[in-house]
Structure formats: structure tokens, C-alpha cells
Amino acid sequence: MTELRVGLVVEDDHDIRELVRVVLGQAGFEVHVATNGTAGIQAARDLQPHVITLDLGLPDIDGFEVARQVREFSDAYIVMLTAKAEELDTLLGLESGADDYLTKPFRPRELRARVAAMMRRPRSGVLATAVHPDEALSSRTFRHNGLEFSYATRTVSIDGEDVSLTPTEFDLLHSFLEAGRTVLSKADLVRRLRNEPYDVGIYTSDADERSVEVHIGNLRRKLGDDAQNPRWLQTVRGVGYRLAPGKS
């Protein structure tokens, strides 16, 4: 029996709300809508949706605050929809807990593709076994420098203390643990988050790669990692990122 997938559209513009509702409905979601931020937060709490599309410019509280509040109780994928193209707005949206963003006007096909990629991520395939963390407890569980990671339970802890991550932050950390000391470029990470193959020449934009930088910054902050003296995530200047060496 197929799992019921629930989508929530938080949008005050009627035309855009209906467009997104149709796109998600065609993608197989049971779709619910909210026309302001307060109603959106309550709906997210009641419905526990898998995916939320969130307008930035809501009439009561802005999308940044909605995302922050939703992140206190939900790990739904959040796609921010904004008419503002300035980079600062985009970065604030990602820092507040959004997983991805699209600037209006957007193509329905692109929204559907982004959502489909998100929904594939928890079901991604078998991990490589040639990893370098201190101890690979199973193909989906890792321990490294005091960090314990379980893909099956979607949990992360450091020295026994639980760490709350967004789905995108979790999947980025998984990518580093899986790759070990192999360097991953920002383009590699974009493709991993979209569950896209590496050998088909798929284009990644500067905005995509900047989004990855923001997510990595958020991940480091939540882990309490120091970019200058990393315990887990090491920057390889001009190339990308990799897992920091194990420490005895």
C-alpha cells in the first residue's frame, strides 16, 4: 500500500496558491492550503506534511519566521517561494530552515522536479562501504570523532547529545560520512541533494552552489564545528569539502 504523501501550500496569492496546489496534486500529494503564516504553522503542526511550499511575503508574519517556527516541530521539506531575487533574502530563507527556494515566476515543471528530488532522498540507494570514519557500524550508521549518525532512524548525536538537523543538513552530513576523505565539490553536493547522476552533465548554477554553502554553514553551526580547526567538516580551498581526519 502506497504511503499517503501530504503537501502544504502556504501562500496568500490565489493564483499562485492554485498553481502550486495543482502541481503537488499531480505529483501525488494530498494537498492542503493556508493563506497566512499563522494558519500555515498550525496546519503544519496538525497535518505533519512531507513537503511545505512557503511564500516569503505573507500578510501577517513573514515566511522566515514561519520556517523558524515550523522547524521547532517538523522535519518536512520546505521550499521557499519568493518574488524577491536578492541574494540576502534567499540566504535568510535557507538560514531560517528552508531546504530549497524558487524565485517567482517559476516554472511548474521545475517545482515538481525539485519536490520529486527531495522525496527521493530518504530512499536513496545502498551506500558505499569504503568509508573512513572511525567506525562504520553498518552501511547506514557511522561514528566519527564523537558524532554518531543513523540513517535508519534519521538521528545524529555528539558525545551522547542529540543534534536537530533539517532534512537537507542531515543529507549533506550523510554525504560527507559516506564519502569519507574524498573531496566533494559544491556541484557534487547539489547533485547528491537532487539525487542526480554525476555523468550526465547536469547544470548547477551559482545560486545552487551558494545555497550549498549556506546549508554547510548552518550544519557547522549546529554541530559546533570550527571551520578553522574542524572536527567534522573540512574545507579544501578551491575544490570543495570533505570529512575531517579521525582523531584519537
Which domain CATH number covers 45? 3.40.50.2300
Q: What is the CATH number of the domain that holds 190?
A: 1.10.10.10
* pLDDT digits 0-9 by tens, 4-58: 899 999 999 999 999 999 999 999 999 999 999 999 999 999 999 999 999 988 9
Question: Which DSSP string do the residues of 182-224 spell out, in sequence order?
Answer: S-B-HHHHHHHHTT--SSS-----HHHHHHHHHHHHHHHHHHT
Query: Does residue 91 lie within any of the structural domains?
Result: yes
Query: Does residue 238 lie within any of the structural domains?
Result: yes
Judged against a pLDDT cut of 70, whether residue 123 lies above it is answered with: no
Instruction: Indicate if 131 and 239 belong to the same structural domain.
Output: yes
Instruction: Indicate if 113 and 149 belong to the same structural domain.
Output: no
Domain finish residue from 61, 91, 122: 122
Instruction: Indicate if 87 and 67 belong to the same structural domain.
Output: yes
Domain finish residue from 91, 122, 153: 122
Confidence of residue 138 (pLDDT cuts 50, 70, 90): very low
Query: Does residue 159 lie within any of the structural domains?
Result: yes
Q: pTM of the predicted model, to two decimals? A: 0.66
| DSSP conformational letter for 86 | -
* pLDDT digits 0-9 by tens, 182-235: 999 998 898 888 766 544 445 567 777 888 888 999 999 999 999 899 999 999
pLDDT of residue 97: 86
Query: Does residue 25 lie within any of the structural domains?
Result: yes
Judged against a pLDDT cut of 60, whether residue 140 lies above it is answered with: yes
Instruction: Indicate if 44 and 69 belong to the same structural domain.
Output: yes
Domain finish residue from 67, 94, 122: 122
pLDDT of residue 86: 62
Domain count, the chain: 2
Structural domain including 67 reads 5-122
Query: Does residue 248 lie within any of the structural domains?
Result: no
